[in-house]
A and B are shown apart, each in its own frame.
Chain A
Amino acid sequence: MYYYIMETAGKKTAVWQEKVKDILGDLGIAGETVAPSPARTIEELAQLGVVKGYNTIVAVGSQKLLNKVASVIINQKENRDIVLGFVPEDFTGSVAKKINVKDTQEACLALKQRRLETIDACMVEPNKFFLTEATIENSQAVDIYLTIDSLKAGLPANKITIKPGIALYVSDFSIKPKNKGFLSFLFGKKTEETSDIYSSFFQCETLRVDSVDEILSIKADDEIITKTPAIFHNRPKALKLIVSRDIINSKE
């Protein structure tokens, strides 16, 4: 049985949510549908779904909602295989691309076909998880100290992106020339893009981010999930996610 968690609906979202419910009904996979209210948060609703014994919990809406539901499922101490489904509101997001769905109909059909893929998640201490990416952004470059597994690194940066895996991208845009010359635009000189020596990329299992001068917010899908200092851990194969059948076919 399916348990659907939808976001609090605005006018536009309400129409879309009704459409989703209709499609799910037509496909014969309608289940209990809940939405957060002042009385119950998304996390509480997800927890309720787990307690009620649902094996498939579906987030219907944004990636922010998905991360919150995923956190609850991964944090379950019971050794029960709860599967996460996702009907994205925005199909340009990274998870929509990961599950390979292009519209609402496809996303709902994928739920019915139930092809599962075990995916990595990234944990932020103490107990938050995200499946998308976390970013630290600042208009000016600030001194950041990173502990990448056993490595210690110090660098000025104004954008840090952390993806499950853990893949870490660090950029300092303040050093790069802001305006391309007119001639280089005309003649297509690509020296600025190709000689980006101020960006870094690392892969690790554990990452600690410290900032000295100011406390920086770390956001995942426009929501602050923690602040510096923060510790991230890779959680390989943390969750089973329903993906499109096409994604399996293309891999085969």
Chain B
Amino acid sequence: MSMLEKKSVSGPGTIVGANVKLVGTLYDASEIVIHGKIEGEVNSDKNISVTETAYVKGPVNAETVQIAGEVHGSITATGHLEILPTGKIFGSITTKDLNIRSGAIFVGKCNMPEGEKQLNLDKTEKEISQKEEETDYEAE
């Protein structure tokens, strides 16, 4: 059974040491902490923490993602994404809650689906209120 197919594991999660070089898809239902180098996809149902010494080349997907190291690839955080002052991201990010600290490097596109939804909602509300105002004015 591959790590990708692994059923949910209740436990301390995965820790990749600073002197480790990994190739492949890493999945853990619990938290993943990366101090080392990974070439491949990193997926977690909970948190992923890419620390200062870490280098990831590949997509990163989790509920909460914290970046203090270097990531070359897309990042999707269904919850919160935080880029710390030492963090470097070269790739697109998708999240609904974003925090980029001063000193961080981010080169890529940022998608906030929740924000887009909100924007569309605001637009629709504005259009409706405008139409209502116009109808009131015509009635008068």
Contact = CB atoms under 8 A, between A and B. Distances in A.
A149 interface: yes
Given A151-B3, A152-B24, A200 B11 contact: no
B18 A152 contact: no
Interface stretch (A20-28, A181-189, A201-209, A223-231): A201-209
A179 interface: no
A232 to B, nearest CB: 14
A153 interface: yes
Contacts of B22: 151-153
Interface of A: 148-156, 167, 170, 172, 175, 197-206
21 contacts: A149-B2, A149-B3, A150-B24, A152-B22, A152-B24, A153-B21, A153-B22, A153-B23, A154-B20, A155-B21, A155-B36, A167-B11, A170-B17, A170-B20, A175-B19, A199-B15, A199-B17, A200-B15, A200-B36, A203-B6, A205-B6
B105 interface: no
Contacts of A148: 3
A156 B20 CA distance: 8
Contacts of B40: 151
Nearest to A155: B20
Interface string B55-93: 000000000000000000000000000000000000000
Nearest to B28: A203
Given A155-B19, A197-B35, A206-B1, 12 more contacts: A148-B3, A151-B23, A152-B22, A153-B20, A155-B20, A172-B17, A197-B51, A200-B36, A201-B14, A203-B9, A203-B11, A203-B14
Interface residues of B, number: 28
Contact of B19 (A150, A152, A172, A201): A172
Contact of A150 (B11, B13, B25, B35): B25
Contacts of A156: 19
A202 B19 contact: no
A205 B23 CA distance: 17
B89 to A, nearest CB: 21
A199 to B, nearest CB: 5
Nearest to A234: B1
Given A149-B1, A149-B6, A204-B3, A154 B21 contact: yes
A154 B40 CA distance: 14
Contacts of B23: 151-153
Given A151-B26, A155-B21, A200 B16 contact: yes
A206 B5 CA distance: 13
Interface of B: 1-4, 6, 9, 11-26, 28, 35-36, 40, 51, 53
Contacts of B1: 149, 205-206
A172 B9 CA distance: 26
A176 to B, nearest CB: 11
Given A155-B21, A197-B35, A150 B4 contact: yes
Contacts of A154: 20-21
Instruction: Please name the 4 residue pairs, one residue from A and one from B, whose CB atoms are nearest each other, closest first.
Output: A200-B17, A151-B24, A150-B2, A197-B35
A221 to B, nearest CB: 24
B23 to A, nearest CB: 5
B71 to A, nearest CB: 17
A153 B17 CA distance: 11
Contacts of B21: 153-155
Contacts of A167: 11
Contacts of B14: 201-203
Contacts of B18: 197-198
Contact of B17 (A151, A152, A155, A205): A155
